[in-house]
Amino acid sequence: MPHTDAVVILTTVSTPEEGERLVRALLERRLIACGSLLPGSRSLYRWEGKIADEQETVILMKTRSAVLHAIEKAFAELHPYKVPELLALEVQWGLAKYVNWINDETSMALI
């Protein structure tokens, strides 16, 4: 397998429409190669001293660790939450053609 710094980013938004706007904006900037929207999730979490129970859309985004700082800046501008989830999970292994595609699609990131 070729060397890669591929990562999968995990975030959530309130609606599929918010997710689509976020993913499209990151794709336009070439910060991600792909974003998969998983609507219909339910999140229970503690927020401001209370337990919240909300419907959300989970988004899995494929990118490279080299652009994570740019994604962090983009989230500050684009993500609808005050405290957005932004977790990057390292890829241990991937099909070479797929990893190369991620690298190609994000190598010219518009920062």
Which pLDDT tens digit goes with each residue over 49-86? Answer: 999 999 999 999 999 999 999 999 999 999 999 999 99
pLDDT of residue 43: 97
| 106-111 own/partner pairs: CB under 8 Å, 24+ apart | 106/30, 106/31, 106/32, 106/33, 106/63, 106/64, 106/66, 106/67, 107/30, 108/30, 109/29, 109/30, 109/31, 109/67, 109/70, 110/28, 110/29, 110/30, 110/31, 111/29, 111/31, 111/67, 111/70, 111/73
With respect to residue 111, please indicate whether it lies within any of the assigned structural domains: no
How many structural domains does the chain have?
A: 1
Q: Does residue 1 belong to any structural domain of this protein?
A: no
**Domain residue limits at 32:** 6-106
| pLDDT confidence bin for 13, thresholds 50/70/90 | very high
The CATH number of the domain where 44 resides is what? 3.30.70.120
pLDDT at residue 111 in the model: 54
Instruction: Please report whether residue 67 resides in a domain.
Output: yes
Whole-number average pLDDT of the chain:
94
Q: What's residue 42's pLDDT?
A: 97
